[in-house]
């Protein structure tokens, strides 16, 4: 039996009620599809449409464009609750509603907002964000994809790799170099590209260790012509948009990690109560009960760090350090919690009939995706020194 959200003192009464609502939706509408997604590896487009129609794709978007405008704490709650029943549904949802949509909402023209946001928020269209390249991962300033001006158009040429939702996306927010004569940070621009335009192609979808159902793709832009009206923000100011997006992305990823590690923790609790050895439940042995103690401590700490980042984002405060801390701790904790849950559930947990083996595989991705654990540590220490004037 899972923890009752209403018992939490970390959230307001309204936020607790919202959690109850999202949890009920996730268990009713998402959970029944989870096993099929895992077994077939099919992309959950129809499930995402249901999520969008229920109102859970637009927490960061104004009601003017179909969102709820509830903010980052609400997004955190959504991510945790949907991840608890299907990590891959939430990852696919988050790329559309947290990575793609907010930069459009914050920086794009009214015309682009009207054109793209309502469809994205409803879940009728899928979004992605094109940053990582074959030779560019953590070093985003080393980006090589270029957009060359020709009349009132830009011609985009280059490749993007490890793009979640890439082969399924209707729209991609693509970052490209528009001024190669300066450092990439000062010569990068963002554009919305529609994937049915000439010159766009999918090289391949990568096979993954976990997150079955996700599509993580290698994409090619071979002279894709983009009208200048598709530009998001100002010319050569894309790097600031990228940095702004990463704070919300990392906070949402941390919340998702809390969700699927919570699911593993709850499986371990149930197993430790029901499983008997030497004439008593295994929870009575310190080798098991101490694991439970460590797991719940890490789980609560991860949620607290994530909440700190989310509250700062909602308050309009800088959250680069807090978002990085939340992602670092929550994703590392998720690995540890899911593996300890696997240990508690023993041989049963290692079988395909038990979710723990899936959750352990799913959890492994997120100390890599969205910025590695090593990069998070670099960002955290950098922000610490900056805050102190060094």
Residues annotated as part of the active site: 249
Closest CA to 26 of 46, 56, 59, 62: 56
Q: Which residues pair with 177 in a beta bridge?
A: 146, 188
Euclidean distance between CA atoms 243 and 62, whole angstroms? 21
- Cβ contact 257:79 at 8 Å: no
- Cβ contact 167:202 at 8 Å: yes
Compute the CA torsion angle 208, 212, 213, 219 (nearest 10 deg): -10
Mapped onto helix, strand or coil, the DSSP state of residue 157 is strand
- Cβ contact 179:187 at 8 Å: yes
Euclidean distance between CA atoms 89 and 45, whole angstroms? 9
CA distances from 6 to 17, 85, 259 (A): 7, 19, 16
DSSP assignment of 294-334, as one string? HHHHHHHHHHHHHHHHHHHHHTT---HHHHHHHHHHHHHHH
Mapped onto helix, strand or coil, the DSSP state of residue 115 is helix
Euclidean distance between CA atoms 262 and 338, whole angstroms? 9
Euclidean distance between CA atoms 260 and 330, whole angstroms? 10
Mapped onto helix, strand or coil, the DSSP state of residue 127 is strand
Euclidean distance between CA atoms 208 and 183, whole angstroms? 34
Closest CA to 301 of 341, 262, 345, 263: 262
Q: What is the CA radius of gyration of the chain?
A: 21
DSSP assignment of 229-288, as one string? GGEESSTTBHHHHHHHHHHHHHHHHHHHHHHHHHHHHHHHHHHHHH-EETTEEGGGSHHH
Q: What angle do CA 209, 379, 165 make, to 5 degrees?
A: 35
């Amino acid at each position: 039996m899972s923890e009752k959200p209403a018992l939490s003192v970390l959230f307001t009464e309204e936020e607790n009620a919202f959690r109850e609502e999202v949890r009920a939706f996730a268990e009713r509408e998402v959970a029944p599809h989870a096993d099929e997604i895992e077994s077939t590896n099919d992309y959950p487009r129809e499930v995402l449409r249901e999520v969008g129609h229920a109102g859970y794709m637009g927490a960061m978007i104004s009601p003017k464009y179909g969102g709820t405008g509830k903010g980052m704490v609400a997004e955190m709650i959504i991510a945790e609750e949907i991840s608890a029943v299907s990590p891959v549904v939430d990852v696919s949802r988050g790329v559309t509603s947290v990575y793609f949509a907010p930069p459009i909402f914050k920086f794009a023209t009214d015309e682009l907002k009207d054109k793209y946001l309502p469809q994205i928020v409803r879940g009728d269209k899928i979004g992605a964000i094109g940053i990582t390249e074959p030779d560019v991962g953590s070093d985003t300033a080393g980006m090589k994809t270029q957009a060359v001006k020709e009349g009132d158009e830009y011609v985009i040429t280059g490749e993007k790799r490890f793009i979640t939702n890439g082969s399924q996306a209707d729209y991609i927010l693509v970052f490209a170099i528009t001024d190669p004569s300066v450092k990439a940070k000062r010569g990068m621009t963002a554009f919305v590209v529609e994937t049915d335009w000439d010159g766009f192609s999918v090289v391949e979808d990568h096979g993954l260790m976990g997150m079955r159902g996700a599509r993580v793709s290698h994409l090619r832009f071979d002279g894709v012509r983009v009208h200048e009206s598709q530009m998001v923000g100002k010319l050569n100011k894309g790097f600031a948009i990228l940095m702004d997006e990463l704070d919300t992305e990392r906070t949402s990823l941390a919340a998702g990690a809390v969700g699927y590690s919570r699911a593993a923790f709850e499986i371990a609790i149930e197993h430790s109560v029901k499983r008997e050895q030497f004439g008593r439940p295994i929870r009575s042995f310190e080798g098991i009960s101490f694991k439970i103690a460590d797991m719940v401590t890490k789980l609560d700490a991860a949620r607290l760090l994530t909440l700190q980042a989310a509250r700062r984002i909602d308050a309009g405060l800088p959250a680069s350090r807090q978002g990085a801390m939340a992602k670092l701790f929550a994703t590392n904790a998720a690995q540890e919690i899911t593996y300890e849950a696997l240990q508690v559930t023993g041989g049963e947990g290692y079988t395909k009939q038990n979710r723990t083996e899936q959750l352990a595989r799913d959890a492994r991705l997120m100390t890599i995706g969205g910025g590695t654990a090593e990069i998070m540590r670099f960002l955290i220490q950098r922000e610490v020194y900056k805050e102190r004037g060094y």
